[in-house]
C-alpha cells in the first residue's frame, strides 16, 4: 500500500513540476517545450510501476515497465527479426510501391480533367473505408510471407496518397501558371519547376498519413496468417500464451518504429519544403 | 452532371476490370473442375497446367471463360456473385439468423457506435482541458500528437484478452478499442478548432468583459464545429476499423470481423468479399450521415460555404 501512496505523491510532484515549468519565466522556451512532455511521460511510467508493484497486479493483466524493459533487453534478437520482417520487408516495401504508384496515378489524374472528376470522389470514398478488411483476401492471394503484407499496405496507402497529391498539383495559382505560359514553358517544364514544388506540402501530408497506415496494415495483416516471425504474429501468439511482457515489448518496438518513420518523413519534408510558411521559424 | 458521368465511367471501368481480372485469377481452378467434369482441356492434366501462365491458359481454353465468373470458391469472385451473396444474406435471411449480414453488421455497428461516443466525448473533454490549461497543453499535447504516429491497433488483441481475463466480455472490449482509436484524432482536431478564433475575435470578447466560460460557449465552441466534424469523420472510420479488428482474436463469434476471419479459415471467398462490402457500406453510411449532420449544423450556424 505504501507504494501506491508513493505513486500518488509522484503524480502530485510531476504535476507540480510541470505547473512550475509552464508558469515560470521560461515558459515559452524550447527547453520547457521539450521538458514538460518528458516529465509527464516519466511520471506516468513511474506511477505505472509503483501501482503495479503496490497492488501486485498479475503479469497477465498489466506487466510493470521494468518487467517490459527486462523482456525487451532479453529478447533483442527476436524483436529485431520481427522488426525486419514486418517493418522493413512488409511495411516499407508496400509503402514505397503504394506511394509511388499513387503519385504516378495522380499525375495522370491531374492531366486529364475527366479522370479527376471521376476518380477523385471514388478515391475520397475509398480512403474512408475499412481497407484493412482486404487483408484476408490478399493473404490468400500472395501467401503468408511479407508479400501479402506489402500488398495490404499498398492498398491502404494508395488512396490517401492519391487524393493528397491531386489536391497538391492543383495548388499553383492561375497567375503562376500564366507566368509559366508566357515563358513558353512546356507541360513538363511547368510541372517540374512550378506545380511539383507547389504540391510538395500536400504530397508530404499524404506521405505522413501513410506512414501510420503502412504500419497498421502490415501488423493487422499478420493477424490473418503469417510465417512464424513478425510483429503481428508475435503479438497474437504472445497474447495467446499470456506473456504480456512480450506483447508490450513489441508495442514499444511498434511505437518506436512508427515515431521514427514519421519523424524521418517529417525531416525530409523540412528539407524539401523549407520555403513553406509552416516551416518558417 | 459532367461529374456524375465521370464517376459512373470510372466505376464502370473498375467493374469491367474486375470481370476481366476474374478470368486469369480463376482459370486454373475452373479448368480443374471442368477436367473432372469430363471436358476437353488444354493441357489435359492439372500438374501440366501448374507451371503455365494464366493468360496462356485462358487463350487455349477460351470456352472456360464464362465458368470463371460462376465458380463456387473462386480466388476472385465476380461482382455479381458478391452482389447476390450480399442480397441473400441481408434481405432474404432472417435478421436473427447467424448467417445474416444484418445481424453481424449490427454486432459490429453497436460496438463501433458505443466506442465512438465514448472516444469522442473523452476526446472533446481533453481538448477543452488542453486549450484552457497551459500545463496540460505542454505535457499532454505532444503525446497526443506522437500517439497518432503509432499503430495503436497493435494493442487490440491484448485489450480483448486482458479484459476477458478480468471478466469483461461482449461489446465492451471492442467498444474500448473503438474509443481508443477515435480518441486521438478528435483531441487533435478539436484543439485546433478551439484555437481557431483569431486574436481579434478573442480581443473583442475581452472588450465585452466576457468570462472564460462565456468565451468558450459563445466563440470557441461554435468556431470549432467545422474542425470537430472533420475529425469526427476520421474518428468514426477509425472506430469501425477498431471494432472489426477487435473481433478477430475472440475466436470469430459474431460481427463483420468474425465473418472475415471465418471466411479466410474456410476459403469462403464470396463470404469475405460480401463482409468487406458490408463493412464498406456501413462506413460510407456513417460518414455520409455525419456529412449530412455537418451540412445542416453549419448551415444553421451560417458557416456553410
pLDDT score for B242: 86
pLDDT at residue number B172: 86
**B180/B109 same-domain check:** yes
Residue B53 lies in a domain: yes
Q: Check residue A6 and give its pLDDT.
A: 83
In a domain, residue B131? The reply is yes
Based on the domain organization, do B171 and B68 belong to the same domain? no
Domain contains B90: no
Residues B113 and B239 in one domain: yes
- Is B46 in the same domain as B138? no
Are B183 and B288 in a shared domain? yes
Q: Are residues B36 and B165 in the same domain?
A: no
The answer as to whether B132 is a domain residue is: yes
B63 and B145 together in one domain: no
pLDDT on residue A120: 82
Minimal C-alpha gap between A89 and chain B (Å):
17
Helix, strand, coil percentages (3-state) for chain A, rounded to 5, are: 85, 0, 15
Chunked into runs of 10 residues, chain B (305 residues) has average pLDDT values of 85 88 81 77 73 75 76 82 83 74 86 92 92 83 82 80 78 87 88 87 90 87 88 88 80 76 81 87 88 90 72
Residue B105 lies in a domain: yes
Q: What ipTM, to 2 d.p.? A: 0.80
Total number of domains in chain B? 2
Best B18, B138, B152, B265 residue to mutate vs chain A (most A CBs within 10 Å): B138
pLDDT at site B252: 53
Residue A281: what pLDDT? 58
Q: How far is B138 from chain A (nearest CA, A)?
A: 6
Say yes or no: B167 contacts chain A, CB-CB below 8 A. no
Q: Which of A36, A40, A136 to mutate to test the interface with B (most CBs of B within 10 A)?
A: A136
Query: In terms of CA atoms, which chain A residue is nearest residue B3?
Result: A117
Query: A151 falls in which pLDDT band (50, 70, 90)?
Result: very high
Angle at B114 between CA B110 and CA B116, to 5 degrees: 115
User: A249 is written with which cell numbers?
Assistant: 515489448
Q: In this complex, do B276 and A23 lie within 8 Å of one another by their Cβ atoms?
A: no
pLDDT given at position B249: 67
**Residue B44 exposure: Cα atoms within 13 Å on the Cβ side:** 3
Which B residues in the span 95-134 are in contact with A, Cβ-Cβ below 8 Å? 134
**Is residue B110 domain-shared with residue B195, that is, in the same domain?**
yes
- Check which CATH number belongs to the domain holding B223 and give it: 1.10.3720.10
**Who among B146, B154, B275 is closest to A250 (CB)?**
B154
Q: For residues B229 and B287, is the Cβ–Cβ distance under 8 A? A: no
User: In the prediction, which pLDDT does A277 show?
Assistant: 75
Within-domain flag for B89: no
Q: What is the DSSP letter of A88?
A: I
B-chain CB neighbours of A138 within 8 Å are: none
Query: Percent of chain A scored above 70 by pLDDT?
Result: 99
Supply the pLDDT for residue A101.
95
Specify whether B38 is located in the same domain as B111. Answer: no
Last residue of a domain, one of B76, B92, B111: B76
Buried-state track B261-272, b at ≥16 Cβ within 10 A, e below 16: bbbbeeebbbbb
Question: What's the whole-model pTM score?
Answer: 0.84
Verify that B67 and B113 share a domain, yes or no.
Answer: no
Give the domain-ending residue among B76, B91, B109.
Answer: B76
State pLDDT tens for residues A212-264.
Answer: 889 888 888 888 777 888 888 888 888 888 888 888 898 889 889 989 999 99
Report residue A126's pLDDT band, with 50, 70 and 90 as the boundaries: confident
**Nearest to residue A33, comparing CAs of B149, B145, B292?**
B145
* B81 within some domain: no
Average pLDDT over residues A78-86: 89
What pLDDT does residue B254 have? Answer: 80
Nearest to A250 by CA among B145, B152, B175: B152
pLDDT of residue B305: 56
Distance CA B305, CA B303 (A): 6
pLDDT at position A97 over 90: yes
CB-nearest partner of A22 from B134, B143, B245: B134
Which domain covers residue B273, as residue numbers? 101-300
Are B142 and B207 found together in one domain? Answer: yes
Same domain, yes or no, for B155 and B257? yes
- Taking the C-alpha atoms of residue A16 and residue B275, their distance in angstroms, rounded to an integer, is 51
Nearest Cβ partner of A40 from B75, B139, B264? B139
Residue B19 maps to a domain: yes
Find the residue in A nearest to B143 (Cα). A37
Contact A37 B166 (CB under 8 A): no
Mean pLDDT of A34-38: 83
Amino acid at each position: 500500500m505504501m507504494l501506491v501512496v508513493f505513486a500518488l505523491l509522484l503524480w502530485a510532484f510531476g504535476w507540480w513540476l510541470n505547473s512550475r515549468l509552464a508558469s515560470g519565466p521560461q515558459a515559452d522556451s524550447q527547453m520547457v517545450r521539450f521538458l514538460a512532455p518528458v516529465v509527464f511521460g516519466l511520471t506516468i511510467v513511474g506511477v505505472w510501476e509503483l501501482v503495479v508493484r503496490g497492488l501486485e497486479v498479475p503479469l497477465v493483466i498489466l506487466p510493470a515497465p521494468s518487467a517490459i524493459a527486462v523482456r525487451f533487453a532479453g529478447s533483442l534478437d527476436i524483436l529485431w527479426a520481427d522488426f525486419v520482417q514486418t517493418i522493413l520487408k512488409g511495411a516499407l516495401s508496400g509503402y514505397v510501391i503504394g506511394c509511388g504508384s499513387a503519385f504516378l496515378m495522380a499525375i495522370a489524374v491531374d492531366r486529364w480533367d475527366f479522370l479527376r472528376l471521376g476518380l477523385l470522389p471514388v478515391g475520397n470514398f475509398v480512403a474512408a473505408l475499412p481497407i484493412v478488411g482486404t487483408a484476408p483476401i490478399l493473404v490468400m492471394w500472395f501467401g503468408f510471407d511479407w508479400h501479402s503484407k506489402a500488398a495490404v499496405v499498398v492498398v491502404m496507402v494508395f488512396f490517401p496518397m492519391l487524393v493528397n497529391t491531386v489536391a497538391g498539383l492543383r495548388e499553383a495559382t492561375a497567375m503562376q501558371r500564366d507566368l509559366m505560359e508566357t515563358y513558353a514553358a512546356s507541360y513538363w517544364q511547368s510541372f517540374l519547376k512550378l506545380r511539383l514544388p507547389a504540391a510538395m506540402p500536400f504530397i508530404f501530408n499524404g506521405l505522413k498519413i501513410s506512414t501510420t497506415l503502412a504500419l497498421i496494415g502490415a501488423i493487422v495483416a499478420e493477424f490473418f496468417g503469417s510465417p512464424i516471425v513478425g510483429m503481428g504474429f508475435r503479438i497474437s501468439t504472445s497474447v495467446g500464451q499470456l506473456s504480456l511482457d512480450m506483447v508490450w515489448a513489441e508495442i514499444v518496438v511498434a511505437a518506436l518504429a512508427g515515431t521514427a518513420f514519421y519523424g524521418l518523413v517529417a525531416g525530409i519534408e523540412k528539407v524539401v519544403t523549407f520555403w513553406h510558411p509552416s516551416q518558417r521559424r | 452532371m459532367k461529374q456524375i458521368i465521370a464517376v459512373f465511367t470510372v466505376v464502370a471501368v473498375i467493374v469491367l476490370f474486375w470481370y476481366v481480372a476474374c478470368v486469369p485469377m480463376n482459370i486454373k481452378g475452373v479448368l480443374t473442375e471442368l477436367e473432372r467434369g469430363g471436358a476437353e482441356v488444354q493441357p489435359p492434366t492439372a500438374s501440366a497446367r501448374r507451371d503455365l501462365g494464366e493468360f496462356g491458359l485462358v487463350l487455349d481454353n477460351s470456352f472456360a471463360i464464362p465458368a470463371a465468373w460462376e465458380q463456387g470458391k473462386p480466388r476472385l469472385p465476380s461482382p455479381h456473385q458478391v452482389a447476390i451473396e450480399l442480397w441473400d444474406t441481408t434481405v432474404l435471411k432472417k435478421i436473427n439468423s447467424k448467417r445474416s449480414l444484418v445481424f453481424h453488421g449490427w454486432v459490429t455497428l453497436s460496438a463501433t457506435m458505443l466506442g465512438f461516443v465514448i472516444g469522442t466525448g473523452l476526446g472533446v473533454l481533453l481538448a477543452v482541458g488542453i486549450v484552457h490549461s497551459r500545463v496540460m497543453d505542454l505535457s499532454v499535447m505532444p503525446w497526443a500528437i506522437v500517439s497518432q504516429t503509432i499503430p495503436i491497433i497493435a494493442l487490440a488483441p491484448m485489450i480483448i484478452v486482458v479484459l476477458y481475463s478480468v471478466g469483461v466480455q461482449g461489446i465492451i472490449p471492442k467498444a474500448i478499442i473503438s474509443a481508443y482509436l477515435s480518441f486521438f484524432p478528435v483531441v487533435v482536431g478539436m484543439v485546433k478548432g478551439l484555437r481557431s478564433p483569431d486574436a481579434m475575435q478573442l480581443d473583442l470578447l475581452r472588450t465585452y468583459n466576457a468570462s472564460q466560460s462565456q468565451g468558450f460557449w459563445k466563440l470557441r465552441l461554435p468556431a470549432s464545429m467545422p474542425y470537430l466534424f472533420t475529425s469526427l469523420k476520421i474518428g468514426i472510420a477509425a472506430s469501425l476499423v477498431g471494432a472489426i479488428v477487435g473481433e478477430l482474436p475472440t475466436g470469430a463469434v459474431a460481427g463483420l470481423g468474425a465473418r472475415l476471419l471465418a471466411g479466410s479459415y474456410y476459403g469462403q471467398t464470396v463470404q469475405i468479399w460480401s463482409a468487406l462490402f458490408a463493412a464498406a457500406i456501413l462506413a460510407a453510411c456513417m460518414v455520409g450521415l455525419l456529412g449530412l449532420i455537418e451540412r445542416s449544423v453549419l448551415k444553421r450556424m451560417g458557416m456553410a460555404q
